[in-house]
Chains A and B, each alone.
Chain A
Amino acid sequence: NAGVTQTPKFRILKIGQSMTLQCTQDMNHNYMYWYRQDPGMGLKLIYYSVGAGITDKGEVPNGYNVSRSTTEDFPLRLELAAPSQTSVYFCASSYQETQYFGPGTRLLVL
């Protein structure tokens, strides 16, 4: 199993641009999550999904959107990038409580 994979690894965006961060898991987990991690801090939940077709907001959802059309994929969309969205983004999945994380996408908005 590859586990949780994320693409791209690194991206530079200009203010106002949009992009989609991809996340795929091959463990057949129902639950998937998107977190952001700012320097020196723990992770904060952006959005999560309890199954295909179901998504819900986390602690810091503003400026982001998600969709969950399949069990495997959970893309995160930034519509109008802002400097405050400069961060490292982690996708995770779980069968029960333990969440398994991908390698992260480092995003820089200039």
Chain B
Amino acid sequence: GESVGLHLPTLSVQEGDNSIINCAYSNSASDYFIWYKQESGKGPQFIIDIRSNMDKRQGQRVTVLLNKTVKHLSLQIAATQPGDSAVYFCAETSGAGTALIFGKGTTLSVSS
């Protein structure tokens, strides 16, 4: 089948650019999705979440898009800053008290 929004292991952008990080999730039964940011030597930090009954959710400088048809998530970061440099993971779950299933991470590098 056609791959929509190919996952890239690394993404390099200039400060001030917009960044788009893609993720394919695996379980059709998942109904809650989270984006985490992980800086070197630290634990994953919550960025934004979205439920399966939504297509889009916006936060401060970040937007998450969900396409359930092709099981695809994306994270958009507006006006990317050097402090956004980190590894970004998407995660899916089917409810509280269940495992988060992590996708492949994308390393975002922001140069000034």
Contacts and interface: CB of A to CB of B under 8 A. Distances in A.
B97 A31 contact: yes
A40 B105 CA distance: 8
Interface of A: 4, 30-31, 33, 40-45, 48, 50, 58-59, 90, 92, 94-104
Interface of B: 32, 34, 36, 41-46, 49, 89, 91, 93, 95-100, 102-105
Contact of A42 (B45, B96, B103): B103
Nearest to A104: B43
Which among B34, B46, B96, B105 has the highest number of chain A CB atoms within 10 Å?
B96
B68 to A, nearest CB: 17
Given A98-B46, A103-B43, A45 B96 contact: no
SS class, residues of chain B in contact with chain A: loop
Contact of B105 (A42, A48, A58): A42
A33 B95 CA distance: 14
Contact of B95 (A92, A97, A104): A97
Contacts of A42: 89, 91, 102-105
Contacts of B99: 33, 45, 48, 58-59
B44 A98 contact: no
Given A42-B105, A98-B34, A90 B97 contact: no
Contacts of B49: 97-98
A97 B96 CA distance: 4
A72 B98 CA distance: 18
B21 to A, nearest CB: 14
A88 B2 CA distance: 35
B100 A43 contact: yes
